Amino acid sequence: MTDLRVFLAFCALVVLALFYMERGVRGSLAPLCAVCSAGLFFALLGCAGLLELAGWAFYLFCLLAAGWLLYRWGYRKKPLPAPGFGLWFFVGAGLLMLLVLAVRRPMFVTWDEFSTWGTAAKLMKLNDGLYTTAEVGWVWTATQPPFLMCLGYLVQFFGQGFVEWQHYAAVDLLLLAVIGALFSPLRKQDWPLAVPLALIGFLTPFVFTLYIEPLKVAPPWLDSLADVPMGFLFGGALAAWFAGQGRGVRRLLPVCLALAALTLTKDTALALGLVAAALVCVDSLVAKREEGRDLAKHVGLSLGRFGVLLACVAGPFLLWAGHLSAAAGVNRFELGGVRNAGMAEMFLLFFRELFSSEKSEHFLLVLQGMPERYLTSRSTMLGSGALATAVILLLVALAALLTKEAAQRRRCIGFGVFSALGFLPYFLLITLTYIYVFRPEQAFESFERYLYPYYIGWFLASVLLLALSARASRFVVEGKAALWGLSLLLTLRCWLILPPVYTAVAFDPSEFDERRRFEQRVNELTAHLDPEGRTFVISTDDTGLKWFTYCYAFLPWQVDYSYGGGPFEIKELQEDGSRLVTPVDAEAWEEHLLETGCTTVFIDKADEAFAQEYEALFEDGMRAYFDEETVLYDVVVQNGQVQLVSADILL
């Protein structure tokens, strides 16, 4: 049942895509509409505390929709709308992807998957509710927007337990739906272009997220973090507009759904959503004006579309901000960090310091260093950010040269100019986070990861414009050759520098050996623990990853926020949202154990120095641990005093 539920969820999404297609949405855009609307529906009801009800309502609707479609296409013999290459791709590639993941069964291995995204996704499945108010026994300020976690919950709605590869499957289905949107311009006679578009879409996350000097490994098809999906949704929203058809709601619906989903993917996605809405408005202004419509009406209609898209971006953002404030007491408009500045305040601080005669050393370091890294740092397989930008704009220029339609040429020129201008405020936003949010020692840390969502969406939209031009080019052969050449160049580039072990198909199973050991240890431990109790974890040689991994593995058992690396510390959340780090002695630790109600202490790793500091609290002075007789101590309280007694459990 655990594996069958993924196939059931996939079938439900396909039915929903067919339903959208029957209601007039272009077949290749229907999977994107289905995945986005499903995730948004779960997020909306989740904010209202009705997440489990959302699951039953979703699957019931898909069941009724399947019956309605069979009635119309079978009993009534209504002609089947053209599904398009995109829908066929989504079905075929989706089934293949589910098969690969079900056989390989990858697990979470990175830091953020355990500290936020993986923990949040697991909490939703275990509690049938949003993770914002979940009790996990340690400091939990979950502010990550819920769209990706809601997709993971949708896929795992039936059955018990949380399975990590199935969460990957949910994210990957979203990526495949966006790739399917790239097929929207293709007609039956354009089938030779389907292969290069599929290759380009599949390779895009590798090209922009795996780079050398040194090669940084975070396999994008085995990644539950938000950056790649955010870039895909950015490009998907633009593709939905460029390849859309019809008028009014039918034309805007796929764009609106993609933008709303984008906004609920990550905090910085708000900026991408605003840029996408502006680019659609520009395209609406410069594209072909309908015959008989005067200029004033054309401008008014374009601005009206812009207003609708702004509402689709701002509405979900404000809804989530209201939920965070009510449910978790978190102000989403404050970014926290070293200055604890709000979004608007951050820009005010920047311009105030920019025109001030006295600038901090950190301000100058970041302000000068970010452009330098954009120009010189090899952050993609295409080279530096500047080279990636040049390649993308070259594709747009090629699309403008190939087309024989004046409106398409204006569209390409408008997109090229204003997408480049839109990159500037996004780049500034990322720069400001390094000045006012990150600590000085974190300057430029992972800066590539915060920029490549824009590159990904920008690139996908440019490829779609090239496909539109190639389809009706005055140089038909040259246009098709350009797409084939691009796909082959990307394939060759990945083949030469990307080890197969970093793909979803050929990764080394030993990559997850340590994770499996963690899971086995925790499973054996929980057989001896009280589900209502709380465990204190000690791992003295850890930088934090082990501790977070144990916290994640223990869920739904309660784990106290304990030893995460460095000197022994108790970390508490303050009223201003910051974390107070306090080194503790044996007396302070005893008081903490009493106050938090810890019932057991699990020692993953401790040394003699630790024993010398805290042995007074242990009945045996920790000898049972060092003699390899136990890793678990029970917290026994007598007359207000704590005594840690060996539980005689060795893993």
Specify burial of residue 253 (Cβ count, 10 A radius: 0-12, 13-18, 19+): buried
pLDDT at 566: 44
Give me the DSSP letters along 580-600. Answer: EEEE--HHHHHHHHHHHT--E
Tokens of 363: 């301000």
Give me the DSSP letters along 331-345. Answer: -TTB--TTTT-BHHH
**Which among 608, 564, 616 has a CA at the least distance from the CA of 589?**
616
Instruction: Check whether residue 55 and residue 174 sit in a common domain.
Output: yes
Domain end call among 482, 502, 522:
502
pLDDT at 440: 67
Instruction: Check whether residue 133 and residue 24 sit in a common domain.
Output: yes
Residue 34 backbone dihedrals phi, psi, to 5 degrees:
-65, -50
Q: Is residue 362 part of a domain?
A: yes
With vertex at residue 79, the alpha carbon angle to CA 76 and CA 84, rounded to the nearest 5 degrees, is 140
**Which among 122, 83, 237, 113 has a CA at the least distance from the CA of 174?**
237
Domain end call among 468, 502, 536:
502
User: Given pLDDT bands bounded at 50, 70 and 90, which one contains residue 529?
Assistant: confident
Rounded to two decimals, what is the model's pTM?
0.91
Instruction: Check whether residue 412 and residue 271 sit in a common domain.
Output: yes
Instruction: Check whether residue 441 and residue 540 sit in a common domain.
Output: no
For the stretch 290-307, what's the b/e string if a residue is b when 16 or more beta carbons lie within 10 angstroms of its beta carbon?
Answer: eeeeeeeebeebbeebbe
Q: Quote the number of domains for the chain.
A: 2
pLDDT at 293: 66
Instruction: Check whether residue 106 and residue 131 sit in a common domain.
Output: yes
Give the chain's end-to-end CA distance (angstroms, integer). Answer: 30
The three-class DSSP label of residue 428 is helix
Q: Is residue 560 part of a domain?
A: yes
Q: Measured between alpha carbons, how far is residue 178 from residues 121, 129, 181, 261 in Å?
A: 22, 27, 5, 12
Domain end call among 502, 524, 540:
502
Q: Is residue 507 part of a domain?
A: no
Instruction: Check whether residue 430 and residue 558 sit in a common domain.
Output: no
| Bridge partner list, 571 | 581
User: How many Cβ atoms sit within 10 Å of the Cβ of residue 20?
Assistant: 24
User: How many Cβ atoms sit within 10 Å of the Cβ of residue 636?
Assistant: 12
Q: Is residue 229 part of a domain?
A: yes
State how far the Cα of 292 lies from the Cα of 616, in Å rounded to an integer. 89
Orientation of helix 385-402 relative to helix 447-471, angle to 10°: 10
Instruction: Check pLDDT > 80 for residue 246.
Output: no
Instruction: Check whether residue 229 and residue 288 sit in a common domain.
Output: yes
Instruction: Check pLDDT > 90 for residue 157.
Output: yes
Instruction: Check whether residue 277 and residue 373 sit in a common domain.
Output: yes
Q: How many residues does the chain have?
A: 651
Q: Is residue 651 part of a domain?
A: no
Q: What residues have CB less than 8 Å from 524, skipping those under 6 apart?
A: 649, 651
State how far the Cα of 526 lies from the Cα of 224, in Å rounded to an integer. 27
Instruction: Check whether residue 483 and residue 617 sit in a common domain.
Output: no
Instruction: Classify residue 456 as left (phi > 0), alpha (psi -120 to 50) or beta.
Output: alpha
Instruction: Check whether residue 444 and residue 585 sit in a common domain.
Output: no
**Which among 230, 224, 220 has a CA at the least distance from the CA of 258?**
230
Name the more confident of 454 and 546.
Answer: 454
Residue 617 backbone dihedrals phi, psi, to 5 degrees:
-80, -15
Q: Is residue 573 part of a domain?
A: yes
Instruction: Check pLDDT > 60 for residue 40.
Output: yes
Q: Is residue 10 part of a domain?
A: yes
User: How many Cβ atoms sit within 10 Å of the Cβ of residue 202?
Assistant: 18
Q: What residues have CB less than 8 Å from 630, skipping those under 6 apart?
A: 624, 646, 647, 648, 649, 650
Orientation of helix 248-263 relative to helix 269-286, angle to 10°: 160
State how far the Cα of 482 lies from the Cα of 561, in Å rounded to an integer. 55
| Torsion 211-450-310-121 (CA) sign | positive
Per-residue model confidence as pLDDT tens digits over 96-123: 999 999 998 998 887 788 877 888 899 9
Contact 258, 236 (CB under 8 A): yes
Per-residue model confidence as pLDDT tens digits over 582-636: 567 788 888 888 888 889 998 888 878 788 888 889 988 888 998 888 889 999 9
With vertex at residue 468, the alpha carbon angle to CA 464 and CA 474, rounded to the nearest 5 degrees, is 140
Contact 181, 192 (CB under 8 A): no
pLDDT at 472: 63
Per-residue model confidence as pLDDT tens digits over 565-579: 445 665 655 554 444
Q: For strand 579-583 and strand 569-573, is the pairing parallel, antiparallel, or unpaired?
A: antiparallel
Instruction: Check whether residue 470 and residue 586 sit in a common domain.
Output: no
State how far the Cα of 427 lies from the Cα of 268, in Å rounded to an integer. 11
Tokens of 411: 């569209």
Contact 457, 463 (CB under 8 A): no
Q: What is the mean pLDDT of residues 544-550?
A: 79
Instruction: Check pLDDT > 80 for residue 410.
Output: yes
For residue 148, the enclosing domain spans 4-502
Instruction: Check whether residue 532 and residue 446 sit in a common domain.
Output: no
State how far the Cα of 236 lies from the Cα of 177, in Å rounded to an integer. 9
CA dihedral of residues 501, 153, 313, 219 (deg, nearest 10): 0
